[in-house]
Structure 1
Amino acid sequence: MDQVNPRLDVKWEAPEPGWFKVNFDGASVGNPGQSGIGCILRNSDGICIKEISKKIGVATNNKAEFRVALRGLQLGMELGVQRIHLQGDSLNVVNVVCCNKTPSWRLNQWLQSILVLLATFDEFRISHIYKEGNGEADRLSKMAITNGDPP
Structure 2
Amino acid sequence: MVKWFKPLTGWVKLNANESSTSNPSLVGGEGIYRGDKGDFIFGYYIGYGMAFNTRAEIRAIYDGLHICFTKGLYNVVIESDSQLVINFLSGTSVSGWKWKYYLDRIKHICINGQVKFDHILREGNGSVDGMARLGSGSQNSAQIVVMANLPSMVKGSSTR
After the TM superposition, which parts of structure 1 deviate over 2 Å for at least 4 consecutive aligned residues?
Answer: 99-102, 141-146, 148-151
Structure exhibiting the larger radius of gyration computed from Cα positions: 1
Relative to the length of structure 2, the TM-score reads: 0.82
The DSSP-based 3-state class of the residue aligned with 1:135 is: helix
Q: Which ranges in structure 1 are unaligned for 5 or more consecutive residues?
A: 1-8
Alignment root-mean-square deviation, CA: 1.6
Distance 2:37 2:31 in 1: 17
Write the deviation string for residues 74-126 of structure 1: whole angstroms up to 9, x where unpaired: 111011112110111011110011125321101000100000011110x2211
Is 1:109 aligned with 2:110?
Answer: no
Whether the aligned pair in 2 keeps the contact of 1:37 and 1:142 (CA below 8 Å) is no
Amino acid at match of 1:84: V
Q: % of aligned pairs identical?
A: 28
Distance 1:50 1:14 in 2: 15
**What does residue 16 of structure 2 align with?**
24
Alpha-carbon distance, 1:57 to partner: 1.2
How many residue pairs get matched? 141
Q: Which ranges in structure 2 are unaligned for 5 or more consecutive residues?
A: 145-160
Q: Which deviates more from structure 2 when the two are superposed, residues 94-103 or residues 23-32?
A: 94-103
Whether the aligned pair in 2 keeps the contact of 1:20 and 1:43 (CA below 8 Å) is yes
The DSSP-based 3-state class of the residue aligned with 2:16 is: strand
